[in-house]
């Protein structure tokens, strides 16, 4: 049975598709071009309506923007985050730390030994089933894990912070998907880091979402320039 969070997610995805299927709206790139398509009596009303729609569209996209994006989990300078006051990290597992359903490799094990030495606590929060998440957590020497987290629901993120004894101000999240991982972290109010998926070969439902992610990421990266 679909949860309310997933339904909201579906509605947002549908809204993105509608926006980018609307060819008429894409013609109006500025006020001068808008005036060419409007009569003298209605031109300012038209401008106002389009500007309002653009502002609404902008706010909608911003819900999915990560706090920052980094090429790989293994490129993150975790020491610098500890110096900034962060003490807890919530990790997605599949395609963030290893390939989907792959066991923990030596690189992953070394990373979490390093995090322990730095002083971090960490928790794995995945939409996958318990045997998968529990085994990975144990293999890297972890203690906390949450399975079937139903991301982008905020419940898993909040539970992870309770398990670690951290809060929104000193916790950050690392994951590879915008519409589940990053959106859930943003809804929770914690710093979010988007990394590139490790394996480009993914299940069909993930592949479809990646196409939509490209639209949002284009907007996000354009904003950064």
Range of the domain at 177: 68-206
Of 139, 54, 157, whose CA–CA distance to 98 is shortest? 139
- Do 161 and 99 sit in the same domain of this protein? yes
Instruction: Give domain status of residue 211, yes or no.
Output: no
Run of H or E residues at 34? helix 31-36
Instruction: Give domain status of residue 32, yes or no.
Output: yes
The domain total for the chain is 2
Structure confidence at residue 128 (pLDDT): 95
The most distant pair of C-alpha atoms in the chain lies apart, rounded to whole Å, by 69
pTM for this predicted structure: 0.74
Tens-level pLDDT at each residue, the chain (225 residues):
544 565 566 556 655 544 554 544 454 455 555 555 555 445 545 555 555 555 555 567 889 999 999 999 999 999 999 999 999 999 999 999 999 999 999 999 999 999 999 999 999 999 999 999 999 999 999 999 999 999 999 999 999 999 999 999 999 999 999 999 999 999 999 999 999 999 877 666 677 778 888 889 888 888 776
CATH number, domain containing residue 82 = 3.40.50.1000
SS3 193: strand
- Do 79 and 146 sit in the same domain of this protein? yes
The H-assigned helical ranges of 98-179 are: 106-118, 130-139, 155-164
Domain boundary among the residues 41, 62, 83 is at: 62
Q: Which residue has the tokens 């994006």?
A: 69
């Amino acid at each position: 049975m679909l949860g309310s969070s997933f339904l909201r997610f579906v509605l947002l995805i549908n809204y993105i598709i509608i926006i980018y299927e609307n060819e008429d709206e894409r013609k109006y790139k500025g006020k001068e071009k808008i005036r060419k398509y409007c009569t003298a009596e209605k031109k300012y009303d038209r401008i106002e309506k389009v500007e309002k729609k653009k502002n609404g569209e902008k706010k909608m996209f911003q819900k999915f923007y990560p706090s920052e994006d980094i090429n790989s989990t293994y490129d993150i300078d975790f020491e610098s985050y500890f110096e900034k006051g962060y003490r807890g990290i919530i990790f997605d597992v599949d395609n963030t730390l290893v390939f989907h359903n792959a066991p923990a490799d030596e690189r992953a094990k070394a990373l979490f030994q390093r995090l322990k030495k730095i002083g971090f606590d960490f928790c794995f929060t995945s939409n996958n089933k318990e045997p998968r998440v529990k085994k990975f957590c144990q293999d890297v020497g972890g203690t906390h894990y949450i399975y079937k987290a139903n991301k982008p629901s905020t419940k898993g993120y909040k539970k992870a912070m309770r398990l670690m004894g951290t809060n929104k101000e000193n916790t950050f999240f690392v994951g590879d998907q915008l519409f589940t991982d990053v959106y859930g972290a943003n809804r929770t109010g914690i710093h979010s880091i988007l990394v590139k998926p490790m394996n480009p070969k993914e299940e069909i439902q993930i592949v479809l979402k990646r196409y939509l992610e490209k639209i949002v990421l284009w907007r996000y990266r354009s904003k950064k320039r």
